[in-house]
Structures are given as C-alpha cells and as structure tokens.
Structure 1
Amino acid sequence: MIVPTRQFVSLALVPLTLSLGLYVFPSATAIILVLDFLLAIFALIDFFTIPQHRHITFTRNVRGVATRGEKHPVELIVGNRTHRELSVHIRDDLDPTFDVEEDLIVSSIPARSQMAYRYQFSPMRRGEYVMKHVHLMLRSRFGLWKRHLKAGPRQTIRVYPALKQISRFAMYARQNKMSLLGLRRSRRAGNDNEFERLRDYTHDDQFKAIDWRATSRRLKLTVRDFQSNQSQRIIFMIDCGRMMVNESNGFSLFDAAIDAALTLGYVALSRQDQVGLMCFNSQVVRWIPPKAGRSHLNTLVHAVHNIEPELVESRFDEAFLHLHRHCRKRSLVVVLSNVIDDRNAQSIQAQTTHLVGQHLPMTVLFRDHELFQPIDHALAQPELASLNDSSLFRAAASADILLWREEVLTNMRHAGVLTLDVFPENLTAPLINEYLRIKAQMLL
C-alpha cells in the first residue's frame, strides 16, 4: 500500500493557501497553476523512487519454543538492494499478550547492505502463537511517499509453562540447599533403601549416617544418602474448568497447578517413579499415561502448553471413570482443583473418597486472597468497634466461607483422602514435602 507522507501534505498546502489570495489578486492564477504543475511533476518523479518488494530482503531468526514470563530474543535482518540509503520503520507481528520492550524500530539501511536488529519479548500466557509477517514502512527518495510492505514467513511460537522452579530445584539439589526452597528432608522408614551418593554432613543428619572412611579421606564429615528402590506411580488430575479460571498475581490457578505439577513431576521422575497427567473439564482434554525416565518430562511440558481453562462445569465423574479404565495399578492421585460452591465440593469429595483403597488420593485446593483479606483487616484493628458495618459484614461472610471450606477438607480427611489447602504461589514446596513424606512413610 502506498500513501502520501505528512511532508507531501504540508507541501501541497502551500499552493492551496496561495490560491486563497486569488480573491484579492485574480491575475495570479497563472502562477498558482504553474506551482501546482511543478508540485505534481515533483511528486510523480518521487513516486517512481519508492522501493519495490524486490528491493528488500528479509529474515527473521527466532526460536520456536519460548517460556512463559521469560525474555525471548528475536533477530530481524533487513537487506537493501538499492543504490541509495533507505529509511525504514519495522514493526513485528506480535500477539497482544506479549510484553515487548520496543515494538517499533526506526533505522536507515545503507545502499547495497543489510542490517540486523534485535529485540526481546516476554510471553505472558502459554499456548501456540503465530508470528505472521513483519510490517515495513519504506520512504521514497524525497520523502513524499511511503510504502507499507509485509515480509517474512509465518512462524509458530510455542510458549511453554514457566520452568524456572524446576531449574532452581535442580540447582539447589546439586548444592544440598533444599531447605532454601522450603523442603524438608524425609527419609524412608526401615532399612529397605539403596545407596544413592555421598554428601557433606548437615546439622539435621543422624550420626549413624556418617561414613567415617569417606570422612577420613576427605577430612570433612560425610554422610551416606539413600533412596527408595521401589518405582511407584503418581498421576496428576488437573481441573481446567470454571473453578480454575480465577487469577492470582496475574496468572490463573490453572497455571499455578501446572507449574507445581511439573516441578513435582521432575522430582518423581528423578526418583525413578512413573508420572502421568490428565487435564479435564466437561471432558478429558489431555491424558498422558504414566511413564518413567527424565525424558518423559518433555512430554508432560509439551502436553499442557496449549491448554487453557474454560468456563464450563467440570465432569469429575467422567475424569475418574477414565482414570479407572486406564490406570488399575495403585497410584498417588493428585487432584488439583478448587471449591466454590456445594455442587463442585460434593463432586470432588464423592469421587476422591471412592479411590481410597485402590489408590492414594490427594486433593489440592487453592486459597483465595480476597477471602482472607477482610479477616486479616479486621484482626489488625485494635478494637472491633472501630470497624464500620461494611467491613464487619465482609469479614463475617469471609469467615463463614472459610469455615465451610474447612468442613469440606475435614470430611475428606476423615474419609482417608490427603488434603492440601494453600495459596497458589506457595503450592510447590508443600506439595513436594507431602510427596516426600508419603515416600518416606511407605503409604503407597
């Protein structure tokens, strides 16, 4: 598309303004016509200097896989085949959910050369996104015209869940600093353990675990680490219905569930356990059978990267029926969902309690900051009399809902279901600690 520039419009206003003087000086008509003719000739000459599509070469270099919340580099290489310098404006075709530092690049490309431009964007949501074209705006030699071009092939960007927790966990595991993540060391009861590694002594280790031969060689207290030699199963059932649409700190509850599930999946796979995953709402959206091996983590990450929660009622009965058909071996079944009303609470409770005996069910529910804030605000006041009626009503309503949630969780625990009730941003460490406790006490 070719359009005139502001410079051309400003230049065209000159004879237009002078033509208003014809009312006073009618004899100047010839001069105005000459100016119009010269301007038209000048604009026509400049029109033929507009760069064509063949005068531009373009390449976009970008990796096809990005991580949610992490900066992703892009390189744009634009070549100029003409014999003059080109002024160019460049804007890439990015999704509105991407956070980009600078979306418009203004530059000049010397004659018969090419320039490389680099920028970064941060995808804020998982999924698959298509970068269609790069939009270029090129000016004519004298700047009276500009042409809008679309260049570059369509490229698909897969945005995966944030894996920062997994990398941080792996780093602290190598450095024996797991306590910094809020994790507690849990050893398996009894002697049915196999040797894993030697490591430095810490204050919470037992003296009988010290390897005195290794200590004498290293001149440093060294203990033996043991691990379970039994491969077991853990299956995540992640609700992606209406109860997981709510957001916390800018991310949905579903994102928090995925991040925690993948981190625990990494821990379980590192311990030679088998990990499976199911995402469901009104139907089973995704099912990944349990499998061992660290390479299986890539399968799990790819399986959930383009799933989004929907405003539909979740069918727990369909999901648990699918689990019964495809998983008969005893497993730790982690259900990540939320309760908002009696309907979904009764559905979760009925289905998880039916698993007791055949499997070991664990229900993970997410707390809502908006329910706790009115109560915290009321308790922070030195006297309740200083609160107005509206604050007291909100605090009382929040307390009533929290008591109802606690009753739901208590009923599940009495039926033999393990439970966790945490804020979304604090889920990972308690979930891993519960898994380690289950392994240590041989509950599976």
Structure 2
Amino acid sequence: MKFIRPFFVATRLWLVLLAIVLLFVTAYAFPILFALAQVVFLIFIFLIFLDAWLLFRVKSGVFFARRELPDRLSNGDENPLSIYLENQYTFRATVDVIDEIPFQFQRRNILFQARLNPRETQVLRYELRPTRRGEYSFGAVNVFVMTPLGLLKRHYQFEQGKTVAVYPSFLQMRQYELLAATNRLNEVGVKRMRRIGHSMEFEQVRPYSTGDDARTINWKATSRRTDPRGTTLMINAYQDERSQPVYCLIDKGRVMQSPFNGLTLLDYAINASLVLSNIALMKQDRAGILTFSDHVGQILPAERRSGHMLKILEVLYRQKTRFLETDYESLYANVRANIRQRSLLLLFTNFETVSAMHRQLPYLRRLAKEHLLLIIFFENTELRSLLDQPATDTEQIYLKTIGEKFSFEKKQIVKELAQYGIQTILTAPQNLTANTVNKYLELKARGMI
C-alpha cells in the first residue's frame, strides 16, 4: 500500500491507451495493422515500466517543497505566500502543485504547474485575502512529479497541518505608518492639515516659512537678525498639544454586521481603529479601545507605553460579533466611570434612520458634554449605486424614490448631530480609514484635542 499510495496516472497515459485501442479496432478492418498494434502496445508497456522506474527508483529525498507564509495574516489585505520547490531528480521534472488552503477562503483553484531542470529550484508566489479574523488551518502541499514521458505521476506531501492567525489589518497600519514617517500620507487620501491654533507651550524661535501664522512673528528677534540680502522674519514656534487621550469606541451590535466587499462593517471599524491608534501614538497622543454591544465588552485604557500597540492589536483580534441591540445607556455609564479625563471619542457605529439615532441621542449628547465626540457611520453603497442609475420603468422609479428617502435620512442625521456640537463622518466603507485619519488630524490642527 505504501508503494501504491503515491502512484497516480497522468492524462497522457489514458490518451495513448485510447489511441492504441482505436488502432486495434482498426486492425479488425485492416489485418495488416494488427502486428503494428501489438508492437506499439508492447512499447507502451515498456515505457510505463520505464517511467515508474525513473520516478520510484529512489524512495525519498529526490524532490522537496516548502510553503513559506508569515506568522500571521492581515485581515482584508492581499497577503503574499510562496511555495519553494527543489528538484533532485536527474531529469527535467514537470510538476503539478496543489496547496490545501483553509476552508474559509472557499477556493479550490490553488493549482500551479512548473518545470524544473535537474538540481534546479523555483519559487511559486500567490496571494490570499482573508475576510474574517481568527485561526486558519493550512493543509498539505501536494506535489505531483512527472518525467519527460509524462505517463505516471509520483505524489509527494509536505507541510502537514499549520495554523496561522488572521489579525486586523496590520499591513494597512504599516502602510500608513511608513507614509506618515515620510510625509506622504496624501498618497492614500489623507489631506495636509494647516494648523490653525497652537498651544501656549513655547518651543523655539525659528525663521518664518510660507504658511506660518503671521501673529507669531517675534519682532524683537527679527530686528536682531541681520542678513546681507535683507531682513529675515523670525517667529515663535510652539509645541503641539501632546498626550491627549484618544479612544475608539467600537459598536459590535447587529447594525455593524452588514457586509461590504467580503468584510463586515465591524471589521472595517476594527481595521480603521488599528490604523488610527497607531497614528495617534505617532502624534504623541495616548490611544485606547472600548468595545460594546448589549453590554460593554473590553476596555483598554489610553496609554502610550512601549508595547501598547501590541496590546491594541490583541484586543481587536479577540473581538467577536454580538447580534443583539446596542445599549448606549450602558456605554455612557462605563465611559463616565472609566474615562475621567476629557478625551477624543471616535464612535464607530451605524444609523440607518433618524428615528434610530433619536433613540440614542440623549446618551450621545451626554457623552458630547464631557468629551469631544466624533460619530462615524456608513453610507449604503448599494443604495448609492441604485440612485446613480437612470430609472427606465415605473418599478425603478419607486425604488429610487425609496432610496432617496433613506439617503436623505443619512444626511439629516449628520445635520441634527451637528446642532448639538457632535462631530460626524458619513463615509463609504472603503474610505473609512483615510476619512477617519483626516478628521483626527483636522481636529488636532484646530486645537480641539
């Protein structure tokens, strides 16, 4: 059984066998072909034994494969994986490689074909995009090796069983971190914010640059500055406000379970919270997390100690969906009990109607009195695509009329919240991260946090 188990028949063998059968059938009509058919059949049997001998003459160690994948995968991103192949046969091998990927991907097309010369190595690269956080179990890497004859296949299995965790989008976080460090955040849609105000903490006197506030010109220092080419204006530079608490409040209720491009709104909120927390730490602020649904889940106090980003990543990774109605009264009570200092609260939720917002408005107003509250909710992208299409019949006119009503209610929610001094972001899911970072930088530039 050990010998038969890796033994497979290639498609070419069946085609050649079919051709020989047709040759024997033809020989009944033309007996002169019968001897030729017998010779061809004997040669065919000999080639089968020769092919088997080439493939199985060495028990092991003649072919090697290894799957190379990261320790963890990034949710919602294309994660690079590769398969390393090494041919130790003395002939040019044709290989079929089938990778047993986790069932969560629902893909059965991870099949690669390659040709390797003797002693040659090759790397096959592909990408996977997970859409759920959690543990993903990879199976074996199956390799089917054929000789140049291509009649038989020898089956090898490598990398038996490996489990990888899928975390919130740390690839997106690293992208924003790198762009922020090189002042290229505008490449992902983050606008440059001109600082309107400043704190009263003096930092230094420096030369004037275009865009600086003229009210900060230090005339005494300017008069002492002599330059053969003319007078150089000097200004007082002030430090930005630092170490401000920034909390991401993530709604895990049923309103956040709507799907978009494979991910739920909850996962979009988690990915955006991870990026924003990292940007806040880079801006010398303190970042914290609070999750809630029918009751408050996990609270991670706002800090900026070494390793705090890893704590945020672990907290976001463990969040699970609850399909119950969100309890904003419990949220307010816990925020009041656990967040004593005035903070920026970024509330990731979703309101579909004005009446749904009105039910929670008393608690939102109380939060806005004690903290700077920013509510982030989502546009219905399917509804937007419907409204952008012209109506061609009566049914579509009715559908567009209903769609316009829901779209108007979203805009009405923004206006009503603004009346109570509550900041809002109404965004499509794919633009959530960039719009959230933009708003955070805007509030910081305006000196509101």
TM-score by shorter chain over 0.5: yes
Q: What is the 5 A alignment of 1:251-262?
A: 252-262=264-274
| 1:243 matched to 2:269 | no
Unaligned runs of 5+ in 1: 379-385
**AA paired with 2:112?**
L
Query: Take 1:431 and 1:270, find their aligned partners in 2: how far apart are those partners?
Result: 15
Which moves more between the two structures, 155-164 or 67-76? Answer: 67-76
| 1:275 matched to 2:287 | yes
Q: What residue number does 2:180 align with? A: 169
Unaligned runs of 5+ in 2: 1-5
Query: Take 2:258 and 2:317, find their aligned partners in 1: how far apart are those partners?
Result: 18
Q: What residue number does 1:400 align with? A: 405
Distance 1:440-1:106 versus aligned 2 partners, 3 A rule? closer
Which moves more between the two structures, 287-296 or 16-25? Answer: 16-25
Q: What residue number does 2:122 align with? A: 116
| 1:195 matched to 2:207 | no
Query: Take 1:126 and 1:117, find their aligned partners in 2: how far apart are those partners?
Result: 28
Q: CA deviation at 1:184?
A: 2.7
Asked if the contact 1:53/1:149 (under 8 Å) is kept, the reply is no
Q: What is the 5 A alignment of 1:416-435?
A: 417-428=422-433, 431-432=436-437, 434-435=439-440
Query: Take 1:432 and 1:68, find their aligned partners in 2: how far apart are those partners?
Result: 19
Q: For 1:17, what is the secondary structure of its paired residue?
A: helix
Q: What is the 5 A alignment of 1:34-433?
A: 39-40=44-45, 42-51=47-56, 52-67=59-74, 72-94=79-101, 97=105, 104-110=112-118, 113-121=119-127, 123=129, 125=131, 127=133, 128-140=135-147, 142-153=149-160, 154=162, 156=164, 158=166, 160-161=168-169, 162-163=172-173, 164-172=175-183, 181-188=190-197, 192-195=200-203, 201-203=209-211, 205-206=213-214, 208-209=216-217, 212=222, 224-229=236-241, 231-247=243-259, 252-281=264-293, 287-293=299-305, 295-304=307-316, 313-317=325-329, 319-320=331-332, 322-324=334-336, 326-341=338-353, 344-346=356-358, 348-372=360-384, 389-390=394-395, 392-415=397-420, 417-428=422-433, 431-432=436-437
Query: Take 1:264 and 1:434, find their aligned partners in 2: how far apart are those partners?
Result: 10
Give the TM-score taking structure 1 as reference length: 0.75
Asked if the contact 1:172/1:178 (under 8 Å) is kept, the reply is no
Asked if the contact 2:28/2:34 (under 8 Å) is kept, the reply is no
Identity %: 19
**AA paired with 1:47?**
A
Query: Take 2:228 and 2:164, find their aligned partners in 1: how far apart are those partners?
Result: 52
Q: For 1:203, what is the secondary structure of its paired residue?
A: coil
Distance 1:6-1:351 versus aligned 2 partners, 3 A rule? same
**AA paired with 1:203?**
G
Distance 1:331-1:152 versus aligned 2 partners, 3 A rule? same
Q: CA deviation at 1:107?
A: 1.2
Q: For 2:195, what is the secondary structure of its paired residue?
A: coil
Number of residue pairs matched by the alignment: 432
Give the TM-score taking structure 2 as reference length: 0.74
Q: CA deviation at 1:274?
A: 1.5
Asked if the contact 2:132/2:263 (under 8 Å) is kept, the reply is no
**AA paired with 2:153?**
K
Please give the root-mean-square deviation of Cα atoms over the aligned residues, in Å. 4.7
1:135-194 deviation digits (Å, cap 9, x = unpaired) = 2111257432112322125262645412333433332279xx8998324323446x5324
